[in-house]
Structure formats: structure tokens, C-alpha cells
Amino acid sequence: MRLVLLGAPGSGKGTQASRLKKELDVPHISTGDLLRAAVAAGTPLGRKAKAVMDAGQLVSDDIMLGMLEERLSQSDARNGFILDGYPRNLAQVEALDGLLQRLKQPLDAVVKLDVPAEEIVGRCEIRFKAEGRADDNPEVVRKRLTVYAEQTAPVADWYQRHGMLKVVDGVGELDTVFQRILAVLPGDRVAANG
């Protein structure tokens, strides 16, 4: 299963992806996590990305594509993946499309978690208190939501126009949302995973 999870910051992509990876037996590839690991390791890329992330802006498309290409070339991604946090603008949609065509691994599904903006702000505040992620502070969250509306919302529209988008209500118990996601995934999932 090759799946893209879309949704605003705090919409629950990461939480749902952790569960989905067990269900689908494919890796969860979060570009945000890859960047945070580079920041924590203090690599040149991480040092460059940190200021951009702390400001709630997007890291450059070239860096992101290189990072994604490297991750997808690892053997655990051969049988599929759950992509979380990519693509985040229309240039990345094209880049991903080109990359997956080259790898002969087309997407099976694109799922967007739909959560109202008021709830997003509250969830990020809770996460900020619990995890202390610098970019979850309310000021940066507002910036990230603006970036999302301007650059990432068109990504969902693109997949919608191409008949690939499934929108799932992301409000509710974790398990309820999880079941909603499973319900919109292509049917051969069950057969492939017993």
C-alpha cells in the first residue's frame, strides 16, 4: 500500500500513521520527523532547516525531494509506505509524481484528515505543552496554518481533480478516525495483509 496522508498541522496524521503502519505493514515516512532527526543530529542540512522550521515556513523543495528519494530507496519502503507531511505544495506534487513514476510505484490512495481550524489550534497547544515542539507555539502555529492554506490546500484540490482524494472526518476518538481511514482504503488491503 502506497498512501499519502494529508491534513493541516495537528490534524492527527502522525498519530494515525503510527497505527496504520502496523495495520498495513509498511513504514511511516514523516518528512517532519526526518527533518527533526537531522536537526537533532546537528547535520549541515539540519542546521539549515532549523530556522525555517522554527519560523513555520517550508524547507526548500530540492532539499525535501533529495531527503524523500533517499528514504524511499531504503529496502523497507519497497512494499509501500505511508507518507506524512509530503507533498506540501504543488511543486512537490509534481516531484513526487515524477519520482514514483521512475520507481514504477504509483500511489494507491490519498487520504485527507479534515479537522476544523479552531480545533487544530487547540490540539497544537496541547501538543506544545506535552512535547514542547518549538513550532507548536501558538504564534508559529498561526503561521503554519497560513502556509497550509496558501500552499498545501491546493495539493488536496489537485488529488481531488485527479479522482484520487478521500476525505475523512478527523474529529473524534482516535480509533473511530482510524476505522474511517481503513474504510476508504482500496479493498485489496485485507487480502494483502491476511
Binds ligand AMP by CB under 6 A, chosen from 21, 88, 123, 180: 88
**Counting contacts by CB under 6 A, is residue 58 touching ligand AMP?**
yes
Q: Are 72 and 81 in contact (CB under 8 A)?
A: yes
Minimal distance, residue 74 CB to ligand AMP, in Å: 18
- The residues near 110 (Cβ < 8 Å, ≥ 6 apart) are 3, 4, 6, 156, 159, 164, 165, 166
Q: 9 - beta bridge partners?
A: none
Q: In which residue are the cell numbers 543530529 written?
A: 41
Q: Are 187 and 109 in contact (CB under 8 A)?
A: no
> Is 133 an annotated catalytic residue?
yes
> With CB under 6 A as the contact rule, which of the stretches 86-94, 113-121, 123-131, 155-163 interacts with ligand AMP?
86-94
> With CB under 6 A as the contact rule, which of the stretches 29-37, 99-107, 160-168, 182-190 interacts with ligand AMP?
29-37
- The residues near 40 (Cβ < 8 Å, ≥ 6 apart) are 46
> Is 2 an annotated catalytic residue?
no
Note the residues at the interface with ligand AMP (CB under 6 A).
9, 31-32, 35, 52-53, 56-59, 64, 85-86, 88, 92, 135, 144
Return the active site residues: 13, 88, 123, 133, 144
